Every structure is written in structure tokens, then in C-alpha cells.
Amino acid sequence: MDKHLSHNEFLAGDYSIADIANWSWVRVHNFAGVDINDFPSLKRWLDLLEARPALARGAAIPHETNFNNPEKEMEAVESTKNMISK
């Protein structure tokens, strides 16, 4: 993805469902143990998508997560576990 995004603003030309679908798993890179700073084009793309108000609203459903904030990451993990086990 980083190589592709080094030559393209979005994954499939214009902003599309391809970006939304991939954003949903790329945005939790810290949770997966991936340092996004190792992938500058991917980071640029992620920052671009994170700035979109509709994606920010969608990410807060069912509750706001903090997967990319190391201090809050475990809190988000525990909250998700609690939500699943109910």
C-alpha cells in the first residue's frame, strides 16, 4: 500500500469505498503492532482519511476508540472486550 500510495492520493483513483474499507483496518495499526511511521505514504493517506468528518463520526460507533494513542490503547482494548462479552 505504501508503494502504491507514493504515486496515488487514494487507493483506486478518487476517494472511494476502497479507501474506506482499507482505512478500517489500517487505522488500528498500533493495536496490530505496526509502526505507521515506517510507511510515510501510508501515513499521509491515513492522516488524509482521519481528517474526513464522516470517517471520524463512523469511528466513534459504537464508542470512540483510541487504538492509535498508546496511552489509551489498553483502555480501548478492555472496553471492546467488555462490549463483546455482554
- For residue 27, give every residue at least 6 positions away whose Cβ sits within 8 Å of its Cβ, in sequence order, or none: 46, 49, 50, 59, 67, 68
pLDDT in tens, 15-73: 999 999 999 889 888 877 889 999 999 999 999 998 999 888 887 776 666 666 666 66
From CA 36, how far away is CA 19, in angstroms rounded? 16
Q: How many residues does the chain have?
A: 86
* DSSP letter string, 16-82: -HHHHHHHHHHTTTTTTT--GGG-HHHHHHHHHHHT-HHHHHHHTSSS---TT-HHHHHHHHHHHHH
The pLDDT of residue 71 is 66
The pLDDT of residue 78 is 73
